[in-house]
């Protein structure tokens, strides 16, 4: 039996103390396998964003354990956590987070620079991934010359260019209109279908979550439902 990509076991997260104490997560158990497309849902304050931050190694749990491919993440040093994020995790954010005066292809090359990939190789790799997200003809346009939907495609391509084990997408359609939102979600679904890339999506929108194959719903720091289903 293969080791799951992600496992949370009894994970808690507490902020503050005394009367100001907030139990953001209250004993979460969650397993995500390679190749899944999971939507993490819930109202504001339900614990979904806290869970995403822990999964992305941007925050640490107060209690319990987070295993990534069987390794207890809590046992890793700061440098090891940085390497885990750099080599195994891709992020897509609501605000795109692109370098504004930099071209699309240069935005994709940046994470490859940190990996020490030679210039010609990283340029070719970046162009290939831009083609994959339908922006091969926009490679040399800056962010200011791209629409919101195109910028988010560049952000998705940047997350994919390092070939991560998982992409965490935090409200990736939050700054887009409904048409562009569905285009982005259709792209993520296609990438999951064609490449088997594991995607974990945080959203509060039902129509966005419908693109995922599995929906995990949070309420008051707990998982209240976990449903796998076919999607349109």
Cβ atoms 150, 187 nearer than 8 A: no
Per-residue pLDDT tens for 56-77?
999 999 999 999 999 999 999 9
| Structure-block tokens of residue 93 | 């954010």
* Residue bearing tokens 């719903």: 217
The SS3 of residue 63 is strand
* Whether the predicted model's global pTM rises above the 0.95 cut: no
Which ranges in 45-103 belong to alpha helices (H)? 48-55, 78-88
pLDDT of residue 209: 94
pLDDT of residue 97: 85
Cβ atoms 185, 25 nearer than 8 A: no
The rounded average pLDDT for each run of 10 residues, N- to C-terminus, in the chain (232 residues) is 92 92 94 97 92 94 97 95 92 86 93 90 95 93 92 93 94 88 93 94 92 96 89 42
pLDDT of residue 230: 53
- Longest distance between any two alpha carbons in the chain, whole Å: 57
C-alpha angle 132-172-196 in degrees, rounded to nearest 5? 45
Write down all domains in the chain, each with its CATH number in brackets.
Answer: 34-63+77-228 (3.40.50.300)
Q: What is the phi/psi pair of residue 55, to 5°?
A: -60, -35
């Amino acid at each position: 039996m293969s080791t799951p990509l992600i496992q949370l076991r009894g994970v808690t997260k507490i902020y503050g103390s005394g009367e100001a104490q907030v139990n953001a997560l209250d004993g979460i158990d969650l397993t995500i396998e390679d190749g899944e497309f999971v939507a993490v849902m819930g109202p504001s304050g339900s614990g979904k964003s806290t869970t995403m931050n822990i999964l992305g190694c941007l925050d640490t749990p107060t209690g319990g354990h987070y295993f990534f491919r069987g390794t207890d993440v809590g046992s890793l040093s700061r440098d090891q956590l940085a390497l885990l994020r750099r080599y195994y995790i891709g992020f897509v954010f609501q605000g795109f987070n692109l370098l504004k005066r930099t071209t699309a292809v240069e935005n994709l090359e940046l994470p490859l620079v940190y990996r020490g990939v030679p210039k010609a190789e990283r340029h070719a790799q970046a162009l290939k991934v831009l083609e994959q997200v339908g922006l091969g003809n926009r490679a040399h346009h800056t962010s200011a010359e791209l629409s919101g939907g195109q910028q988010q495609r560049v952000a998705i391509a940047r997350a994919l260019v390092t070939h991560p084990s998982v992409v965490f997408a935090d409200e990736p359609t939050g700054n887009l209109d409904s048409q562009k939102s569905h285009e982005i979600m259709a792209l993520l679904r296609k990438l999951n279908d064609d490449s088997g890339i594991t995607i974990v999506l945080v959203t509060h929108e039902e129509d966005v979550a419908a693109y995922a194959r599995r929906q995990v719903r949070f309420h008051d720091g707990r998982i209240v439902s976990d449903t796998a289903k076919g999607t349109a």
